[in-house]
Homo-oligomer: A and B are copies of this chain.
């Protein structure tokens, strides 16, 4: 999996974190323990751990040790928006309505949407909800979740907590893809959003992965004048 020692140490630890074997908060072995385990010098262990810390997978505290990082809502927000946080941040009251929720074995269409690679029939949760700001419709959320990753007892939480928020705080992810385009609302969404059917809407479709597994697919539809997507970035990295 890696041709140098510090890469192997790094990937060994990374695997255990991403698989969930070592959960957020877990104290990973001290540098001197890893030195013994891999029979190498401290610099080599240190290089592996520093790299994991730079990537945000672990947190290092002097005298205390190194710990698997908790998925930081704050940092994730930079790229995966947390709708309730955004609305309350600008001083508006936030509201949430679960419109429908269905648990089923995935159809082929579901697996296509999730870009699921394996050919197993995984259980999925298909739900639809509405976000409100100041009591007015703000966005429609259509979501498909992989129940092989999301624990089933989370489902009850979605009656009162938006699934996106729950996921951000509970499920670490390694990769995501946003697909953004504009459409006219159309009759169904127009009714749910309280706008004219020819209203221009911004649509954000997002897939999120943890390692090789898709965690969720979500389509968010916003009335065009209520929401702007802002991304600040730097070259390369």
Contacts and interface: CB of A to CB of B under 8 A. Distances in A.
Interface in A147-178: 172-178
A198 B197 CA distance: 11
Contacts of A232: 175-178
Contacts of A230: 177-180
B72 A236 contact: yes
A7 to B, nearest CB: 13
B79 A229 contact: no
Contact of A235 (B43, B75, B202, B222): B75
A5 interface: no
A75 B75 CA distance: 23
Given A235-B71, A235-B173, A229 B56 contact: no
A21 to B, nearest CB: 18
A200 interface: yes
Contact of A180 (B55, B184, B198, B229): B229
A123 interface: no
A132 B176 CA distance: 31
Interface string A195-237: 0001111100000000000000000001011011111111111
Nearest to A79: B233
A76 interface: yes
B202 A55 contact: no
A175 B234 CA distance: 5
A183 interface: yes
11 contacts: A55-B236, A56-B235, A56-B237, A57-B236, A79-B235, A174-B234, A179-B229, A181-B202, A184-B224, A199-B200, A200-B201
Return the 3 tightest CB-CB contacts between A and B, nearest first.
A56-B236, A182-B224, A200-B200
Interface of A: 43, 54-57, 69, 71-72, 75-76, 79, 172-184, 198-202, 222, 224-225, 227-237
